[in-house]
Amino acid sequence: MPKVKALILRTAGTNCDWETEHALRKVRAETQRIHINRILEKKDLLHQYHILVLPGGFTYGDDIAAGKILANLLRFHLEGEIRHFLQEGKLILGICNGFQTLVKSRLLPALDGNAQEATLTFNDSNRFEARWVYLKVCSSKSVYIQEGQILYLPVAHAEGKFLTRDEGVLQRLRDASQIVFKYVNPEGEDAEYPYNPNGSIENIAGICDPTGRILGMMPHPERYVEPFQHPRWQREGLAKQPHGILIFRNAVDYVKKNLL
């Protein structure tokens, strides 16, 4: 049977690529961690894969702004290849720094094409936030997750505050069901800090593009794919299905059903 192939894009400062590879291999994807310089040298490498993952970290030291330099590389050197990749019905996942990159490269939210419609900026706390958060899945549009679930995942970022360019962009995200994840309290209700660790507008933690095949999220699903990674597993017992693995399994299942 053909294998689902995932490319994990790394560069200077990427530091979550190994965990992301482990998560994808757990759901039977064939993965490779490839430096962006190799892709720039041989751009058709991208088309050998079904899933492109931009993992977390601090690409290029987050100089200028988090994810900005990598975003410019994608936008100005790989835009054609990425557009073709998406036209083939393939998937892109950006986690934390990867989400920042997708937004600043204008691949998300992808409402107007060339305009940058949103950003991720400094947390309201003005410090790096590393904690576990509750997420409510608010949309059925994304192929990565099903609406109505409450997930528990860790965040680790200093620039995770999601803002739209204006109220019009925010309303279009609402109308198109592109707001996938919101920070909530344990009961699934909107809540302020520390449940919302960064001050994102409307508690937004992740969005998708209009097709549902590009997903960007600040929390780290790759950090909860083993039961013992839960911070309270010794008191509460081992979960049968760690919440983070759902994102990767659904991506692989989508490729199997639609692209193989």
CA-based angle 207:65:123, to the nearest 5?
Answer: 60
Tokens 């204006």 — which residue?
Answer: 166
Q: Are 218 and 206 in contact (CB under 8 A)?
A: yes
Annotation says 96 is catalytic = yes
Annotation says 159 is catalytic = no
CB atoms within 10 A of CB 41: 9
Question: Pick the catalytic residue: 96, 117, 208, 230?
Answer: 96
Measure the CA–CA gap between 73 and 204, rounded to whole angstroms.
26
Question: Pick the catalytic residue: 19, 21, 129, 222?
Answer: 222
Question: Pick the catalytic residue: 50, 220, 230, 243?
Answer: 220
Annotation says 220 is catalytic = yes
Structure tokens at 146: 């099903």
Q: Are 6 and 50 in contact (CB under 8 A)?
A: yes
Tell me 77's DSSP state.
H
User: Known catalytic residues?
Assistant: 96, 220, 222
